[in-house]
Amino acid sequence: MQSQERTPRRHPAMSAAYDRTAELRALDATFSGVRGLVASGITHLPRIFRLPEAVHGPPEPTVSAGQETAATTVPVIDLSGDRAGVVAAVRSAAAEWGFFQVTGHGVPLESMAAAVDAVRGFHEAPGGEGSDKARLYSREPARAVKYHCNFDLYQSPVANWRDTLYLRMAPDPPRADDLPESCRDALFEYSQQVKNLGRTLFDLLSESLGLKPSYLTDIECNQGQIILCHYYPPCPEPQLAIGTSRHSDSGFLTILLQDQIGGLQILHKDRWVDVTPTPGAFIVNIGDLLQLISNDGFRSVEHRVVAKNAAPRVSIACFFSTHFHPASTRMYGPIKELLSDENLPLYRETLVRDYIKHYYSIGLDAKTAISDFRL
Ligand SMILES: O=C(O)CCC(=O)C(=O)O
Ligand SMILES: [Fe+2]
């Protein structure tokens, strides 16, 4: 999920007898997002955030934190272990789960904590006239640094209970003073650390596919980096709302840091499984484009974030892809070295930007983007 224009979709909730667009605009005009609503003392969920009846409650049984077994726990991989064992664990997690957590990754705990604190500080600062939030409030695709409440506020059927600071850090990094001063140092440092971890993971994923370690980097899968700094305030009626609608990530790979609150769930064997916060760990997930070029060797899996009436939740999602400015002109299809008579290509080749355009034309909440590229 990254910021992008997309086509409006009609939904039953939209035809309710109220001026939804006016309410969305009124929210935008505050420049302070969901956090601003909570700070103003609301006790009920505004209707723009209400899930339609049809999606109230989980459609599938949920495996919650504390009830997991080995079969329902997202794998945790210690990257400091022996190489062959790590490569095998990555192969099996990326193929079976599409998600895993990593420890022993070499990123200093202080950099992780500083980034989460900086993001929390940004979101908890007041909005309104003259604030950093007002200066940065935008959904303009060309802007590399921006803040908004829901990148798809005017297109999605249900507003998500979430605000986001968006940073496009590569291939063209922003100027230092484009970032809010309070989080500049922490987020530049974090971006560099996660870029290095990305390189380590792409090496491991290449090896897991039986390719030379630099293969995925050589084809520029990690050339672009977008960092989304999410903030999920406490929700007064969490069962009626959603933090992030179900979706798969469009790019090649995502590295996610979540704080201790929890709420991220992934769809595994038709059940929602909690990704239990693991102190010091990163969550890693395969995006649609890596599923496509691995010819289904790895899986891009749907996930969502449930709303809670708990302390605010911070997460920092770093996406690796190539459609960011300047957009790549490279074609991506199933990697030739993986194909054989037993492994025929399952997808057609595409420019990343064409894939992304299609992904957003469908919208979050619909898992058909990648299947439309199947041969
Ligand atoms: O906040 C989270 O844990 C997940 C966010 C997410 O899925 C995304 O930004 O694509
Ligand atoms: Fe995601």
14 assigned to some structural domain: no
Q: Is the ipTM of this complex over 0.95?
A: yes
The residue to mutate among 101, 148, 256, 259, having the most atoms of ligand 1 within 8 angstroms of its beta carbon, is: 256
34 contacts 233 by C-beta, under 8 angstroms = yes
Contacts of 134 (CB under 8 A, 6+ apart): 31, 127, 128
91/87 Cα distance (integer angstroms): 6
Question: For ligand 2, a single-atom ion, which residues have Cβ within 5 Å?
Answer: 1, 249
2 assigned to some structural domain: no
Count of Cβ atoms closer than 10 Å to residue 337 Cβ: 11
Task: Read off φ and ψ for residue 134, nearest 5 degrees.
Answer: -65, -40
Nearest Cα to Cα of residue 258 among 240, 274, 278, 238: 278
- Residue 79 belongs to a domain with what CATH number? 2.60.120.330
Atom of ligand 1 nearest to the CA of 275: 3
253 contacts 301 by C-beta, under 8 angstroms = no
The pLDDT of residue 157 is 92
13 assigned to some structural domain: no
Task: Tell me how far the alpha carbon of residue 77 lies from the centroid of ligand 2, in angstroms.
Answer: 20
Query: Model-level pTM greater than 0.80?
Result: yes
Maximum distance among all Cα pairs of the chain, rounded to whole angstroms: 63
Query: What 8-state DSSP symbol labels residue 297?
Result: S
176 assigned to some structural domain: yes
Contacts of 4 (CB under 8 A, 6+ apart): 141, 151, 356, 357, 360
State if residue 119 touches ligand 1 by the CB under 6 angstroms criterion: no
Task: Tell me how far the alpha carbon of residue 250 lies from the centroid of ligand 2, in angstroms.
Answer: 8
The pLDDT of residue 306 is 97
294 assigned to some structural domain: yes
Residue at 98: amino acid letter: G
Task: Tell me how far the alpha carbon of residue 129 lies from the centroid of ligand 2, in angstroms.
Answer: 31
Domain containing 105: what range? 20-56+66-373
Task: Tell me how far the alpha carbon of residue 248 lies from the centroid of ligand 2, in angstroms.
Answer: 6
Task: Read off φ and ψ for residue 148, nearest 5 degrees.
Answer: -160, 165
Q: Would strands 350-351 and 264-268 be described as parallel, antiparallel, or unpaired?
A: unpaired
Residue 90 exposure: Cα atoms within 13 Å on the Cβ side? 27
61 assigned to some structural domain: no
Domain count, the chain: 1
The residue with tokens 């980096």 is 225
75 assigned to some structural domain: yes
- pLDDT by residue for the chain (375 residues), tens only, comes to 654 444 444 454 455 578 999 999 999 999 999 999 999 999 999 999 999 875 545 555 577 777 766 667 899 999 999 999 999 999 999 999 999 999 999 999 999 999 999 999 999 999 888 999 999 999 999 999 999 999 999 999 999 999 999 999 999 999 999 999 999 999 999 999 999 999 999 999 999 999 999 999 999 999 999 999 999 999 999 999 999 999 999 999 999 999 999 999 999 999 999 999 999 999 999 999 999 999 999 999 999 999 999 999 999 999 999 877 677 889 999 999 999 999 999 999 999 999 999 998 887 666 678 999 999
246 assigned to some structural domain: yes
Which residue's CA is minimally distant from atom 8 of ligand 1?
1
